[in-house]
Amino acid sequence: MARLIKVTYQVWPTAAEMALASARKFAETVETAVAKHGVARLAISGGSTPQATFKLLADPAGPFAKTIPWDKLQLFWVDERCVGPDSPESNYGVARDLLLSKVPIPAENVFRMEGELDPEVAASRYESTLRNVLKLEGAETPAFDSVTLGMGPDGHTASLFPNTEGLNELGRLVIANHVPQKDVWRVSLTWPVINHAAEVVFEVEGPSKTDVLAEVLTGPRDPDRLPSQLIRPANGKLLFLLDEAAAAKLPPAEEAGNGYRVGTLEI
């Protein structure tokens, strides 16, 4: 039986307001980590949900682009599609176009997964990158300051899809995971690595996620079918940023001021 951890969820009226909350969280995490140990190490995800956040962070007229200490940020990826960096499907490529090309983050601080390579080679090379950059020894696991995740309508997160081999990997940091239901390969951090982060933040929006989110957080434990249930950070810091549509079937949250509501669950 897995130990219980507390989940906090913030419910914002719209996806746009959720994206602004996500941008604030990103900025606060970077600033806190830099103040604590001189560098911030964040792992981010792809998909459509983070794109609004990227645009807010990059907006030269906004409150983030000029105040975040970009030179102290080391940016990593949770997962990647097996495509080149210039493909519109590339998680790195989207982040580069919407964010990285518009802010002063040093190129040497950006660590992408090489989706254009053979998946196993890409996974092995990224694991080596993590070990070298983070100076890991032996079986040591990366300790990111924050990992940001999405959730698919099938309950997958990162590129850990239902009933795939990657769900069983406990020893490696990065894997090539075949996804039979899509007939594709993906490269992904493993769930034990994600769970070793100081904090994990899910960003979930829209009515297509309403039912699966309720299942993941309030339904029976079935991580083979709902891989998002594998995410239980070791230090217990798990936050869900949601819009009203995604949160519609969760227990009622309480007004917290500043336009959002907050709830907690034990899972």
Q: Place 4 in a pLDDT band, splitting at 50, 70 and 90.
A: confident
pLDDT band at 1; cut points 50, 70, 90: low
Rounded distance, CA 70 to CA 67, Å?
8
Q: Could you say which DSSP state residue 252 is in?
A: P
CATH number of 13-209+217-238: 3.40.50.1360
Domain boundaries, the chain: 13-209+217-238
pLDDT at 34: 98
Residue with tokens 């409150």: 63
Q: What is the mean pLDDT of residues 194-210?
A: 98
Task: Please state the pTM of the whole predicted model.
Answer: 0.97
- Cβ distance 171 to 189 under 8 Å? no
Q: Which residues contact 13 (CB under 8 A, 6 or more apart)?
A: 243, 244, 259, 260
102 pLDDT band, cuts 50/70/90, is: very high
